[in-house]
Structure 1
Amino acid sequence: MPDPRFFEALGPLSLSRLAELTGARIVSGPGDLMIDEAAPLNRADSRGIAFIADKKFLAELKATGAGACFLPEALAGETPEGCIALVVGRPQAAWAIASGALHRPIRQPAGSELIDPSAILEQGVTLAPGAVIGPGVRIGAETSIGAGAVIGPGVSIGRRCRIGPRAVVGFALLGDGVALHAGAVIGEAGFGATPGPDGIIDIPQLGRVILQDNVTIGANSCVDRGAWDDTVVGENTKVDNLVHIAHNTRVGRNCVMAAYVGISGSVTIGDGATFAGRAGVADHVNIGAGSIVGAAAGVMRDVPPGEFWSGYPAKPVREWLKESAWLARAARRKG
């Protein structure tokens, strides 16, 4: 279930109601089954609804504990015992619609006080003019909140943190000694979209962001909350200005990212990795511990631990330098 500090449960809803909302057809099973949550195949239980759009995930479908699943006609007979099939043309879009009907992000109440009465501020917390502290927020001792910063409902911030002016924090848990520079945005929705009945629709992002102790996030950088699982930045990692870390990414301890780095969704980064300016990483890639990604490199596949990769597409730096030198020589040849 999504964290109740950040998401309001709107269910349960009956399976027949979800079928009506999404245009799905219940293949077998009771339409009065009550559903509490939308979840991935590997996380859903008997009160949850999942989806599958491609047969390459059949093994996950066979192992799911979901009570129901949106799927295409071709996979209607593949659900395990106890999982009711809902046939629909666009399973991911149907799941997105169901997610929106079952879960709603908790937002700052309109017209509320700048500092919500339910917020808990430990001794020595300082708030600059215009700071907004939402309901259920917890802020540790000696933390400072900059002018115009917004701390959303349910957020927990540790001790001795520094939240810069105009920073925005939501759907997040911050450890001790975390520093967010001006304009940083933590916990906004990651990029998820899919074709729906009437055009492209957003896929609800139901996870959180966890920044561990002594993490620094630079000015105007963004760390997206997870689509379901958490986005995590490990202890003592330092992120420069204008960096983007997408949903579900897990960054290890003592990593360094220079300006304009872009990390796509569901990337796993080992401890001590270094990213030079403008480096980019494709989704679902593993970056090994202690590795280095060179400036403006585009990483499309896994980087082994301790290696230095550069170029586009990125490859071991010696290989890239050899190819670059050969290309330069070839370009200079006459005829």
Structure 2
Amino acid sequence: MTVDPRFYAPLGALTLGQVAELTGAALDGDGDLRVTGIASAANAQAGDLAFLDGDGKSAPEISVNAGIFMTNEANLKYVPEGAAKLVVPLPRYAHAVAALAMYRPRHLDWTGDARISPDAQVHEDARVSPGAVVGPGAVIGEGTWIGPNVSIGPGVQIGRHCQIGANASVFCALVGDHVTLLAGARIGETGFGVLASPDGQRDAPHFGRVILQDHVSIGANTCIDRGVFEDTILGERTKIDNLCQIAHNVVFGRSVVMAAFGGISGSVRVGSQSMLGGRVGIADHVEVGEGVSLAASSGLFRNIEDGETWGGTPAKPIRQWMREVAWLQKQANPKKNS
């Protein structure tokens, strides 16, 4: 996905030679080749710098349009023939260094005394409460209420008839119509991405967005992180309770319901009409089908097909889980059951 210039200021393209010099990578390719964007390997387009990291034991998903790779020795075998290569021991870190030389989040340069930026567009029928701030390039739609002390970051688009509760913050996000964010919601913060660098662990920069479609509701103090390169998306009429965490690159379908204290790890997919009970946790990259139900406190580590009901930790089909619980109770209390 192309980095959205509404949220990330382009600092200019680099040549492959400049990227090699900046990162200390060994260059295999045309040093004058222009690097015009950044992306994951799965979604890279022509001119984008992608990366391949890890031990190389499993083949990564690679876009047919990808042509420039930051990689380590273990993943060289997966680089398509004819593609330009930059070889380094820590390709994810080197990719981040190059990315930060090409893009800068606009909210980091948001300054000034104006409560509502002169470059923002606020509909005449929208209401902005005391203490709220609206950044440059932001758009607030008709009939929308912005509560006290809310922060609407640069470039954020908020649709019609939305309600943004007190002390909420919205950055790097596109918000549809009739969306409700309760007090203290955090939309579009950097997710929990950590990468290895020569001097230890570092936070991975994020260049994606959050998209909240029409009629989505987000509970108080819930956090929804923006994507790393792709988007975090919540489909129409999805309802999220208070105190939930939804990580980067997560995609929910339509009318998903999630009860309080849930935690969804990065790149999870949850199908439409699914219901997640309180304190449900889902491990990264898991795919949940449509119409699935997860019992409260379930811990899910593998994919689920459409329409199934699971429970427990590790989660399993509900009848299997209940049989195991019943058996365990009998073993723990043999006298009571004799």
TM range (shorter): over 0.9
Contact 1:42–1:65 (Cα < 8 Å) also in 2: no
1:240-268, Cα deviation, whole Å (9 max, x unpaired):
10001111111111111111011111111
Contact 2:3–2:38 (Cα < 8 Å) also in 1: no
Contact 1:270–1:287 (Cα < 8 Å) also in 2: yes
Q: Structure 1 pair 320/60, CA: closer, same or farther in 2 (3 Å)?
A: closer
Partner residue, 2:127: 126
Contact 1:281–1:299 (Cα < 8 Å) also in 2: yes
Unaligned runs of 5+ in 2: none
1:61-107, Cα deviation, whole Å (9 max, x unpaired):
5x543342111224446533442111111111111111111111111
Q: Structure 1 pair 281/58, CA: closer, same or farther in 2 (3 Å)?
A: closer
CA distance in 1, matches of 2:183, 2:60: 45
Contact 1:142–1:161 (Cα < 8 Å) also in 2: yes
Partner residue, 1:68: 68
CA distance in 2, matches of 1:111, 1:68: 39
Partner residue, 2:99: 99
Partner residue, 1:286: 287
Partner residue, 2:183: 182
1:47 aligns with 2:47: yes
Q: Structure 1 pair 75/273, CA: closer, same or farther in 2 (3 Å)?
A: closer
With 30-39 and 76-85 compared, the bigger mean Cα shift is at 76-85
1:8 aligns with 2:25: no
CA distance in 2, matches of 1:83, 1:106: 32
Partner residue, 1:38: 38
CA distance in 1, matches of 2:316, 2:159: 40
Q: Which amino acid aligns with 2:32?
A: D
TM-score, L = length of structure 1: 0.95
Q: Once the two structures are aligned, what percentage of the paired residues are identical?
A: 48
Cα deviation for residue 296 of structure 1 reads 0.7
CA distance in 2, matches of 1:173, 1:78: 35
Q: Which amino acid aligns with 1:179?
A: T
1:88 aligns with 2:96: no
Q: Which amino acid aligns with 1:73?
A: E
1:35-65, Cα deviation, whole Å (9 max, x unpaired):
121211232233221111243564645x543
Partner residue, 2:235: 234
TM-score, L = length of structure 2: 0.94
CA distance in 1, matches of 2:186, 2:60: 37
Partner residue, 1:266: 267
Q: Which amino acid aligns with 1:275?
A: L
CA distance in 1, matches of 2:264, 2:61: 26
With 221-230 and 74-83 compared, the bigger mean Cα shift is at 74-83
Q: Which amino acid aligns with 2:48?
A: G
Aligned length: 332
Partner residue, 1:307: 308
CA distance in 1, matches of 2:239, 2:257: 5
Partner residue, 1:330: 331
Q: Structure 1 pair 200/154, CA: closer, same or farther in 2 (3 Å)?
A: same
Cα deviation for residue 303 of structure 1 reads 1.8
Contact 1:41–1:65 (Cα < 8 Å) also in 2: no
Q: Structure 1 pair 66/281, CA: closer, same or farther in 2 (3 Å)?
A: same
Q: Which amino acid aligns with 1:37?
A: G
CA distance in 2, matches of 1:97, 1:289: 39
CA distance in 1, matches of 2:76, 2:287: 34
CA distance in 2, matches of 1:267, 1:328: 33
Contact 2:282–2:300 (Cα < 8 Å) also in 1: yes
With 214-223 and 73-82 compared, the bigger mean Cα shift is at 73-82
Cα deviation for residue 8 of structure 1 reads 0.9
Partner residue, 1:194: 195
Contact 2:160–2:176 (Cα < 8 Å) also in 1: yes
1:255 aligns with 2:256: yes
Contact 2:120–2:138 (Cα < 8 Å) also in 1: yes
